[in-house]
Amino acid sequence: RMIGHYLAKNDIPFVLVVSKDGMQRETELVDSKYDNKKIEHLGFSLINANDKSSLLRINRELRDGKNILVYVDGNTGTGDDLTSRNLISIPFLNQHVKVRAGAAFISYLSKSPIYPVVSTRQWKRVPCLDFFPPILPNKELNRQIFIGQAVSRIYKHLEKVVSIKPWQWETWLHLHEHADIVNPIAEQISEPIITEGKKKRLIRFNEEDYSFFSITGKYFLFRKRDYQCFDIEHWLYKRLEQIYRRDYPFTVPLLQRNHMSDLITGRVVLEI
């Protein structure tokens, strides 16, 4: 929220675009930080990003001389359909993500520049705002070309910051909802297990390709190459924990006798 505080401190009139779920929280925050005179001076108000009329409202506010503050990495926009035509796929962190294009779309239609800014923290209580060159709408370009280039430029700035300070990016928690996997890791073909000359045939957990976790009493196996999660039973979750920690010398025959052969064929565990 430091970007909004910066605008308010410098008396720059702006309107905040926020998801429906966050409108009440943002209203309470603004009321606690600024008095009515300040809010009226800024012309501050909220636009529900999920409202289908939000683009028209944004265009009207721009005509009135206000700035529009949009958090592009929140990926909230008109409607909740992630297959919407408003989504475009752009390169990001060696993969692609599907992102909203509404900000670039309204910039092109209204001939309003986009001012990219990234908010980070140098230390716990030392905020830092990095401003980048404005993106100017170019009517000579095809609209879709401009939108693609503008959104890609914005995310390129974000990509550099996230690469340096990945722990400061909140979107990791729901990035899987918008990931567009176009560079998948090649499927590994399981090699036949050679039994000759091997006695114990110990195994280990394949942490390069898999992980596992529990949440709200449910248990999952996570495949890293394509972000797939698989429901597993509690007993299997506990066995994976033991294999991972190597609490017990698990072997291939032991897994086969206990109906866990799928862990071997699926390369969730590997023979040492």
Q: How far apart are CA 155 and CA 170, in angstroms?
A: 15
Give residue 9's pLDDT.
84
pLDDT tens for 171-194 read 888 888 888 877 665 555 445 444
pLDDT of residue 235: 92
- By residue count, the chain amounts to 272
pLDDT for residue 186: 54
Q: How far apart are the C-alpha atoms of 216 and 218, rounded to whole Å?
A: 6
Tens-place pLDDT, residues 205-216: 999 999 999 988
Q: Using one digit for the tens of pLDDT, what is the confidence trace for 82-100?
A: 455 568 999 998 888 898 8
Q: Which residue type does 67 have? A: N
How many angstroms separate the CA atoms of 272 and 270, rounded? 6
pLDDT tens by residue, 27-49: 777 777 777 777 776 767 788 87
How far is Cα 188 from Cα 112, in angstroms, rounded to an integer? 49
A 10 A CB-CB count for 90 gives 20
Query: What mean pLDDT comes out for the span 224-240?
Result: 89
pLDDT in tens, 250-270: 899 989 888 888 999 899 999
What are 51-77's pLDDT values in tens digits? 888 888 888 889 988 898 988 876 655
DSSP-H helix ranges across the chain: 2-9, 23-33, 36-42, 54-63, 102-110, 143-164, 234-245, 252-257, 261-265
Among 129, 127, 126, 128, smallest CA distance to 116 is for 129
